[in-house]
Amino acid sequence: MTLAGLNYESTAIIELMDVAETDRSEEWLRDSLQQAVMLELATLPPYLCGLWSIREDDPDEAGVSLMIKEIVFNEMTHLGLACNMLTTVGGTPVLASTAVVPPYPCPLPGGVRPQGLTVYLGGLTRESVRMYSEIEKPVDPLAESTEAFPSIGAFYDAIHRAFRQPGLTIRGTRQRDTDLGHGSGNRVFPLTALAEVEQAIQVIKEQGEGTSRSPDDPTAGDGELAHYYTFRQIYRGRRLVRVQQDPPRFDFTGDPIPLPAARPMAVVPRGGWAADPSTAPVDPAVKDLLGTFNTTFSDLLRSLELAWTVEDPEKADGHLNDAIGFMFGLGGPAVELMEKPLPNDPAKYYGPEFRYVPLA
């Protein structure tokens, strides 16, 4: 899919899933993987806003803060693996574009379900955690009943089947190999054969949704739960425990998980704070912080895109290192913004917009 054909708010994923499996060509796979890159990118800003809003001086913040931080690192890994999948079939990820960056509040990209889900940027609240869990929800969760729908995992299943079609060439081009250094299961590894692609898809699915037999993240090996169940624990305020062995059944009846005190970041309006006259910043310090954050975020996306565009592995590693530096540069201005009250509601505060700023 060319840049001209990309549109975050299209129904591209629904249309791709409607294509008969016998007609899912290599071009179909490249288009699907670009949508997968966009899906992984879309999850990070809302989770980061929730993480950054947690007050460091709250005695209960370590547990929930660590849970969300682990998920953020997982999602960064998923983004890298999706980029490796795209380049190994001859594609090039598009990340630095207004056509790709989510225009929060918005649905997930491509029309992927659950339809009706609005993904937004705001501080950590019970409602925002519920939204996080809806993003990660599997088709048939092991705890709590739900209406069936095609999940992100189902989309990756379709991608998996397309990789297994006879005649597909796995090129192993522009593969990046990096360890994000935050526990097991957080390595972006090269995909040069089908078995490695299948391992990457398994990591993405199981870290997000768990398996059909267990809510645990099998890549962690330390009792860490898959993202959906971690977020449901925080939302329900209780740890998930096994209440029946066979068939396995789980319920949120374990130890309490207090929701930590958080900075009351308001929900960013469509188009950013300046798009709404009631929240448009008049304080020069707020304007400067928003500009710094959005510029750093844009530099991060450009560096990531270059890492999967250049052929020279050494240059690619340099771009990845730049991206990591920009990533760590986002937290400071984000937290500062969360200390600045809105002009129309002093009880609510600004926060990062995650808007892409093209180079002049």
Q: How many CB atoms lie within 10 A of CB 360?
A: 3
Task: Select from 151, 57, 140, 75 the least CA-distant residue to 112.
Answer: 151
Please report, as a single letter, which amino acid is at residue 53: S
What interhelical angle do 227-236 and 61-88 show, nearest 10?
160
Q: Sign (positive/negative) of CA torsion 147, 151, 157, 158?
A: positive
Report whether 97 contacts 3 (CB < 8 A): yes
d(CA 357, CA 96): 9
pLDDT at 142: 46
pLDDT at 214: 59
Domains located in the chain, CATH noted: 3-263 (1.20.1260.10)
Q: Which residues of the chain have pLDDT under 70?
A: 1-4, 60-62, 113-115, 139-151, 181-185, 209-214, 216-223
Q: What does pTM read for this prediction? A: 0.92
Please report, as a single letter, which amino acid is at residue 261: A
Helix/strand/coil (H/E/C) assignment for every residue in the chain: CCHHHCCCCCCHHHHHHHCCHHHCCHHHHHHHHHHHHHHHHHHHHHHHHHHHHECCCCCCHHHHHHHHHHHHHHHHHHHHHHHHHHHHCCCCCCCCCCCCCCCCCECCHHHCCCCCCCECCCCCCHHHHHHHHHHHCCCCCCCCCCCCCCCHHHHHHHHHHHHCCCCCCCCCCCCCCEECCCCCCCEECCCCCHHHHHHHHHHHHHHHHCCCCCCECCCCCCCCECHHHHHHHHHHCECCEEEECCCCEEECCCCECCCCCECCECCCCCCCHHHCCCCCCCCHHHHHHHHHHHHHHHHHHHHHHHHCCCCCHHHHHHHHHHHHHHHHCCHHHHHHHCCCECCCCCCCECCCCCCCCCCC
Identify the bridge partners of residue 179 per DSSP, sorted by sequence position.
187
